[in-house]
């Protein structure tokens, strides 16, 4: 049975003018100090004209640029060659030399996921407001998460709102609270146990801040006359790295969603936050929280991680632990099943697995669900985002890699009560790259990280050749009827 897939005319392409101010370091501290010394030698009467020139060129490209520049100065103040007080204008000038614009989307804007917006007010009957997350890739192939908002109108027309010209990183929460029991469980999963860890954790209460953890580690560092052993130093570094990898950030309410950027912030994310799969998760009490699984890449190792939010203003980043938390493409079901969190994953780089857990942070066991079967997916298969609950079962969009490394999108159906049972599967791709979608950063690829079901239609945003993003719609009834 043929399926009618309708592609829309909406295409989101990379916009090189969307730039973020990022810290810039030209080298070792000695070189930084030398540059500062040269700036200090500029006569005071030349500072004002130089700043006027900078403001004329950059102030319209960034919100609160003076504040950002002064903050950068404070970060490098210790490298000043003298303790003498300097004017605010000179501080501004010094800070400007150690910032640089980063074009977030200069290479690509792709691999989207889509969820209902928390705010559904002021819409006509039958319309739905959504949030679209996208993988933005810039210089050095570093990926971050960017957002757009849009509306699915009553006639199923898809409208994506134009982004503003500004982009801003959130502020890190200075002292997020850590739950001691959860933190100790994560330490145990990492093998960071033993006497040193016990002494550090005994200094902390049932919940603690990063500053309190720092104080406890420093107390152990100076406990012995000769300092810590080399082994304890390694454990201390591991404890601190775990704390840094579990952090919270906060945007300001007046920042529009398209201005909010989640940029890599920890060593595990150094080379990118990739392919976030957002899902609106319904808690047992009926309330909602948004989770996103994503791939953190440090340049060598890929690690699955988790971010959660209720309002897209405050985000909490969390490490995923356990032997089953590995590889790419973890996707959380939108509610618990039989009292357990449920996740799709890919453990062996080519098949789809199913996992259950009583804690969203820990994944210990997995079960093989689907292997590559059809010619268009014989290299590997994986999920294309979180499952969608329907009366017929859990609908999952999948991706398959076939000859010439061509990526296509397929679908399968799982039992609602027992998702380990596959009850339907498309034998042919639902979506494959057509002639206008083949060319891009990575040719012959269509890929999505999440879809929406609205009024019986699947709304599918999808990446085009790892470069841009398009949209397609298809009848859920047609998809289900074509499954065997």
Q: What is the pLDDT of residues 348-383, one digit of tens each?
A: 989 999 999 999 999 999 999 999 999 999 999 999
Q: Is the pLDDT of residue 410 over 80?
A: yes
Confidence label for 174 from pLDDT (cuts 50, 70 and 90)? confident
Rounded-to-integer distance, Cα 315 and Cα 321, Å? 19
Q: Which two tokens stand for residue 432?
A: 């494959």
341 and 363 in a single domain? The answer is: yes
Are 272 and 31 a contacting pair, CB within 8 Å?
no
Q: Is the pLDDT of residue 468 over 70?
A: yes
Question: 103, 132, 161: which is the final residue of a domain?
Answer: 103
Question: 77, 103, 129: which is the final residue of a domain?
Answer: 103
% pLDDT > 90, the chain: 85
Note the pLDDT of residue 1: 66
Confidence label for 189 from pLDDT (cuts 50, 70 and 90)? confident
- What does the pLDDT average to over 9-33? 95
397 and 477 in a single domain? The answer is: yes
Note the pLDDT of residue 328: 85
Q: Mean pLDDT in the chain?
A: 94
Q: Which two tokens stand for residue 95?
A: 């800070």
335 and 407 in a single domain? The answer is: yes
44 and 62 in a single domain? The answer is: yes
Q: Is the pLDDT of residue 226 over 70?
A: no
Q: What is the pLDDT of residues 297-331, one digit of tens each?
A: 888 878 889 999 999 999 999 989 999 998 888 99
Are 341 and 358 a contacting pair, CB within 8 Å?
yes
Write out 412-475 in H/E/C secondary structure: EEECCCCCCCEEEECCCCCECCCCCCCCCCCCCEEECCCCEEECCEEEEEEEECCCEEEEEEEE
Question: What does DSSP assign to residue 337?
Answer: B
Q: Which two tokens stand for residue 65?
A: 């640029």
CA-to-CA separations, 250 to 105, 231, 317, in angstroms, rounded = 22, 36, 11
Q: Which of 30-44, 71-85, 303-317 has the lowest mean pLDDT?
A: 71-85
256 and 387 in a single domain? The answer is: yes
Note the pLDDT of residue 225: 65
Domain that holds residue 79: 19-103
- What does the pLDDT average to over 237-251? 92
CATH number at residue 164: 2.115.10.20
- What does the pLDDT average to over 4-28? 95
User: Model pTM?
Assistant: 0.93
53 and 90 in a single domain? The answer is: yes
- What does the pLDDT average to over 38-57? 95
Q: What is the pLDDT of residues 85-110, one digit of tens each?
A: 899 999 999 999 999 999 999 999 99
190 and 297 in a single domain? The answer is: no
Confidence label for 82 from pLDDT (cuts 50, 70 and 90)? confident
265 and 375 in a single domain? The answer is: yes
151 and 260 in a single domain? The answer is: yes
Q: Is 387 exposed, middle or buried (0-12, 13-18, 19+ CB in 10 A)?
A: buried
- What does the pLDDT average to over 224-253? 87
Q: Is the pLDDT of residue 227 over 70?
A: no
31 and 144 in a single domain? The answer is: no
- What does the pLDDT average to over 45-63? 94
Question: 194, 219, 245: which is the final residue of a domain?
Answer: 245
Rounded-to-integer distance, Cα 64 and Cα 329, Å? 37
264 and 389 in a single domain? The answer is: yes
Rounded-to-integer distance, Cα 31 and Cα 16, Å? 30
Confidence label for 255 from pLDDT (cuts 50, 70 and 90)? very high
- How long, in residues, is the chain? 484
Note the pLDDT of residue 351: 97
How many structural domains are present in the chain? 3
Note the pLDDT of residue 179: 93
201 and 305 in a single domain? The answer is: no
């Amino acid at each position: 049975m043929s399926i009618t897939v309708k592609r829309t005319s909406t295409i989101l392409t990379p916009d090189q003018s969307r730039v973020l101010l990022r810290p810039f370091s030209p080298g070792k501290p000695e070189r930084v100090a030398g540059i500062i010394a040269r700036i200090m030698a500029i006569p005071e009467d030349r500072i004002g004209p130089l700043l006027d020139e900078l403001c004329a060129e950059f102030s319209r490209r960034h919100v609160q640029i003076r504040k950002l520049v002064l903050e950068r100065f404070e970060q490098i103040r210790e490298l000043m060659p003298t303790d003498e007080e300097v004017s605010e204008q000179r501080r501004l000038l010094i800070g400007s030399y150690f910032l640089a614009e980063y074009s977030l989307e200069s290479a690509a804007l792709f691999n989207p996921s889509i969820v209902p917006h928390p705010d559904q007010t002021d819409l006509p009957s039958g319309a739905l407001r959504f949030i679209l997350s996208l993988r933005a890739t810039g210089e050095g192939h570093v990926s971050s998460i960017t957002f757009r908002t849009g509306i699915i109108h009553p006639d199923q027309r898809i409208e994506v709102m134009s982004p503003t010209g500004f982009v801003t990183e959130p502020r890190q929460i200075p002292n997020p609270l850590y739950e001691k029991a959860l933190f100790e469980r994560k330490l145990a999963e990492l093998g960071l146990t033993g006497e040193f860890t016990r002494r550090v954790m005994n200094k902390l209460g049932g919940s603690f801040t990063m500053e309190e953890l720092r104080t406890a580690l420093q107390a152990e560092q100076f406990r012995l006359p000769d300092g810590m052993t080399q082994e304890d130093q390694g454990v201390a570094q591991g404890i601190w790295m775990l704390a840094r990898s579990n952090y919270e950030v906060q945007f300001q309410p007046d920042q529009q969603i398209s201005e909010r950027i989640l940029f890599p912030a920890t060593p595990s994310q150094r080379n990118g936050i990739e392919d976030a799969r957002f899902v609106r998760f319904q808690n047992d009490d009926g309330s909602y929280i948004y989770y996103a699984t994503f791939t953190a890449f440090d340049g060598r190792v890929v690690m699955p991680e988790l971010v959660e939010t209720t309002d897209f203003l405050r985000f909490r980043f969390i490490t995923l632990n356990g032997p089953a938390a590995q590889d790419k493409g973890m996707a959380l079901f939108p509610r618990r099943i039989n009292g357990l969190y449920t996740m799709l994953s890919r453990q062996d780089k080519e098949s789809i697995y199913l996992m259950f857990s009583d804690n969203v942070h820990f994944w210990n066991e997995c079960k093989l669900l689907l292997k590559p079967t059809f010619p268009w997916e014989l290299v590997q298969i994986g999920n294309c985002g979180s499952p969608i609950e329907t009366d017929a079962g859990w609908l999952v969009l999948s991706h398959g890699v076939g000859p010439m490394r061509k990526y296509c999108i397929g679908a399968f159906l799982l039992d609602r009560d027992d998702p380990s049972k596959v009850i339907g599967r498309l034998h042919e791709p639902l979506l494959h790259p057509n002639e206008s979608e083949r060319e891009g950063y990575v040719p012959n690829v269509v890929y999505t990280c999440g879809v929406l079901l609205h009024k019986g239609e699947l709304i599918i945003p999808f990446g085009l050749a790892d470069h841009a993003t398009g949209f397609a719609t298809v009848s859920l009834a047609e998809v289900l009827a074509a499954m065997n």
